[in-house]
């Protein structure tokens, strides 16, 4: 692929990724509440999901999800239910919950990674991105799968850099907030509220009935 095409795709991807959506809001929320390591774990989890979507796009599964009303709605409502679960679980946490250490901290980081992975995979808008945006940069005269792989790697790198920047910035804000007792007492409510808001946003996504 031409360098100019890759550069334009990278810039366009950066513009799209930098706009806050479910993935970035998840990363920012967890970074503020849990700190830098938590934020990095969330960002890596989200982008691990991106790698899965890249593979799905290469074999045509992303197009299936985006074009099929049934597949789109399955992914959509699974994501809504999962976000509702995370939100209600966060709201039920005691305000005095101690900060995890040692093995507990490691488990928490793994959970953050896995949750980021699932949040991305259950976001049908990512499938729409790979169906509607990425094909504009594909040369129809060449094999599609290798081009999708190259563009996907470019998108992955761009998205990871932006996600990590958000995570580090939000963790710095979180460090300041955690020195405020009021925030420490109520941060589980903030986290839970964001998850519930994300569930509402996911539920309002089109039902895919006009696709395919």
Q: Above 70 in pLDDT, residue 33?
A: yes
Q: What is the mean pLDDT of residues 88-112?
A: 58
What is the count of structural domains for the chain?
A: 1
Asked if the structure places residue 13 within a domain, the reply is: yes
Asked if the structure places residue 122 within a domain, the reply is: yes
CA distance 62 to 65: 5
Position 98 scores a pLDDT of 39
Position 141 scores a pLDDT of 72
Asked if the structure places residue 209 within a domain, the reply is: no
Asked if the structure places residue 211 within a domain, the reply is: no
Asked if the structure places residue 155 within a domain, the reply is: yes
Q: What is the mean pLDDT of residues 112-126?
A: 84
Asked if the structure places residue 140 within a domain, the reply is: yes
Note down the domain range covering 120: 3-203
Task: Name the burial class of residue 121, with classes exposed (0-12), middle (13-18) and buried (19+) by CB atoms within 10 angstroms of its CB.
Answer: buried
Q: How confident is the model at residue 39 (pLDDT cuts 50, 70, 90)?
A: very high
Q: How many CB atoms lie within 10 A of CB 99?
A: 11
Q: How confident is the model at residue 119 (pLDDT cuts 50, 70, 90)?
A: confident
Q: How many CB atoms lie within 10 A of CB 116?
A: 25
Q: What is the pLDDT of residues 143-186, one digit of tens each?
A: 777 888 889 899 999 999 999 999 999 988 877 776 666 555 55
% of the chain residues with pLDDT over 90: 18
Asked if the structure places residue 208 within a domain, the reply is: no
Q: Above 50 in pLDDT, residue 88?
A: yes
Asked if the structure places residue 25 within a domain, the reply is: yes
What does the DSSP 8-state code read for residue 172?
A: H
Please enumerate in sequence order all residues whose Cβ is within 8 A of that of 115, keeping only pairs 6 or more positions apart, or say none: 26, 42, 45, 86
% of the chain residues with pLDDT over 70: 61
C-alpha separations of 75 from 16, 78, 90, 135 in Å: 21, 5, 23, 22
- Tokens representing 183? 């925030």
């Amino acid at each position: 692929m031409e360098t100019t095409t890759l550069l334009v795709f990278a810039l366009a991807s950066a513009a799209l990724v930098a706009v806050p959506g479910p993935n970035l809001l998840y990363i920012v929320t967890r970074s503020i509440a849990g700190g830098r390591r938590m934020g990095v774990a969330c960002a890596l989890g989200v982008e691990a999901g991106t790698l899965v979507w890249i593979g799905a796009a290469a074999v045509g599964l992303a197009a299936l999800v985006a074009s099929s009303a049934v597949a789109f709605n399955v992914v959509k409502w699974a994501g809504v239910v999962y976000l509702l679960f995370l939100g209600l679980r966060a709201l039920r946490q005691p305000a005095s919950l101690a900060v995890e250490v040692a093995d507990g901290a490691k488990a928490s980081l793994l959970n953050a990674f896995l949750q980021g992975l699932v949040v991305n995979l259950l976001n049908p808008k990512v499938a729409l991105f790979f169906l509607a945006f990425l094909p504009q940069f594909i040369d129809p005269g060449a094999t599609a799968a290798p081009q999708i792989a190259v563009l996907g790697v470019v998108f992955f790198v761009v998205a990871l850099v932006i996600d990590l920047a958000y995570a580090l910035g939000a963790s710095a804000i979180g460090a300041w907030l955690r020195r405020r007792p009021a925030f420490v007492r109520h941060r589980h409510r903030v986290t839970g509220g964001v998850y519930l808001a994300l569930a509402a946003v996911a539920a309002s996504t089109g039902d895919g009935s006009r696709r395919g």
